[in-house]
Amino acid sequence: MINKIKFYLMHLAEYLLLSTKVSSILNKYDETELQLTVAKTKVQQSSDYLQNNMKLVKANLRTEEMLNLDANRDNAWKSFNYFVLSQAYCLNAEKREYANKLLTLIRTPEMRIYKMGYQDETASLINFFNRIDSNPEFAEAIEKISAQQRYTQLKTAQKAFTDKEAERVDEEADKPNAKGKEAARQVRESIESLNRFLAVMKDMTGKEEYDKIAAEVNEVVVEINSRVNSRTTRHRNAKEEEEVTEN
């Protein structure tokens, strides 16, 4: 159900991004009804263990440029948030209705992003974009209250942050120690275990929620694999340029 992940080419930061986003996805679903407790715990514990072994790398990533890009996306979020809030009090009844529909999503606990770490904020924003873009009612609400520009600015600010973060990970070389390798192994095993769990539970119960979880995880897989492919392509091109220069 979960697509193939290029674990063997991933950096620690990508393992952390994967586990953080998958945890965020699982947290949206009814733990008791879908019997997700064990799977959720494994993913979260592997993510926590990896995060504890990446403190030095994370500290190195907090450059002034990264801080500024993080502030930009925070400001873009505030701009979008406050605009939607203003429309909830406008004189147009139809716009108020659409704005309040968006506010129900904006006011969820996972969107309290201001005190979040880099990875958690990224996961929350990407999840927010996915929910808006996959739901015609939310997409219509964005259009009806004329919030497209601010929504696009928010997406642009988030992309600028994640692009620069990926560059910084490359610069750090991301050479894991023994504990880092063990942490990455735990993340991989937790995701593989989740995949087996989803397949078995889907066959046993027929519940569509398991397909939905797998589909959301696969969106993350596409993002991670794209990062890996982009990095390997950059490295290959750089090596070819060096060889041409030397010759």
pLDDT in tens, 165-189: 777 765 554 555 677 788 899 999 9
pLDDT recorded at residue 104: 92
Neighbours of 133 (CB within 10 A): 13
Q: Does the residue 124 lie in any domain?
A: yes
Q: Specify whether 54 is located in the same domain as 84.
A: no
pLDDT recorded at residue 173: 45
Helix or strand (DSSP H, E) at 87: helix 64-87
pLDDT recorded at residue 56: 53
pLDDT recorded at residue 97: 96
Q: Report the C-alpha gap between 202 and 204 in whole angstroms.
A: 6
* Residue 52: exposure state from Cβ atoms within 10 A (0-12, 13-18, ≥19): exposed
Q: Does the residue 37 lie in any domain?
A: yes
% of the chain residues with pLDDT over 90: 61
Q: Does the residue 3 lie in any domain?
A: no
Task: Tell me the three state secondary structure of residue 162.
Answer: helix
| Structure tokens that stand for 52 in this block | 């504890």
Q: Does the residue 247 lie in any domain?
A: no
Q: Specify whether 161 is located in the same domain as 216.
A: no
Which of 167, 200, 226 marks a domain boundary? Answer: 167
Domain count, the chain: 2
Sorting pLDDT into bands at 50, 70 and 90, what band is 13? confident
Q: Within 13 A of 20's CA, how many CA atoms are on the CB side? A: 22
Q: Specify whether 47 is located in the same domain as 89.
A: no
Q: Report the C-alpha gap between 51 and 45 in whole angstroms.
A: 10
pLDDT recorded at residue 143: 95
Q: Specify whether 151 is located in the same domain as 222.
A: no
CA 154-157-160 angle, 5° bins: 150
The alpha carbon torsion through 176, 178, 179, 183 (nearest 10 deg) reads 70
pLDDT recorded at residue 235: 60
Q: Specify whether 118 is located in the same domain as 200.
A: no
Q: Does the residue 72 lie in any domain?
A: no
Which pLDDT tens digit goes with each residue over 108-159? Answer: 888 888 778 888 888 889 989 999 998 999 999 999 999 999 999 999 999 9
Q: Specify whether 35 is located in the same domain as 96.
A: no
pLDDT recorded at residue 190: 97
Q: Within 13 A of 52's CA, how many CA atoms are on the CB side? A: 9
pLDDT recorded at residue 39: 96
| Structure tokens that stand for 170 in this block | 């490359």
Which of 167, 188, 208 marks a domain boundary? Answer: 167
Which of 109, 137, 167 marks a domain boundary? Answer: 167
Residue 145's domain comprises 77-167
Q: Specify whether 186 is located in the same domain as 130.
A: no
Q: Does the residue 2 lie in any domain?
A: no
Q: Does the residue 1 lie in any domain?
A: no
pLDDT recorded at residue 178: 72
Q: Specify whether 34 is located in the same domain as 57.
A: yes
Which pLDDT tens digit goes with each residue over 24-73? Answer: 999 999 999 999 999 999 999 999 998 887 655 555 555 778 889 999 99
Q: Does the residue 68 lie in any domain?
A: no
pLDDT recorded at residue 245: 44
| Across 80-102, average pLDDT | 95
Q: Specify whether 28 is located in the same domain as 97.
A: no
Q: How far is CA 164 from CA 37, 63, 66, 159, 220, in A?
A: 35, 11, 7, 9, 18
pTM over 0.85: no
Q: Specify whether 19 is located in the same domain as 43.
A: yes
pLDDT recorded at residue 244: 43
Q: Specify whether 96 is located in the same domain as 59.
A: no
pLDDT recorded at residue 55: 59
Whether residue 82 is predicted with pLDDT greater than 50 in this model: the reply is yes
Q: Specify whether 192 is located in the same domain as 237.
A: yes
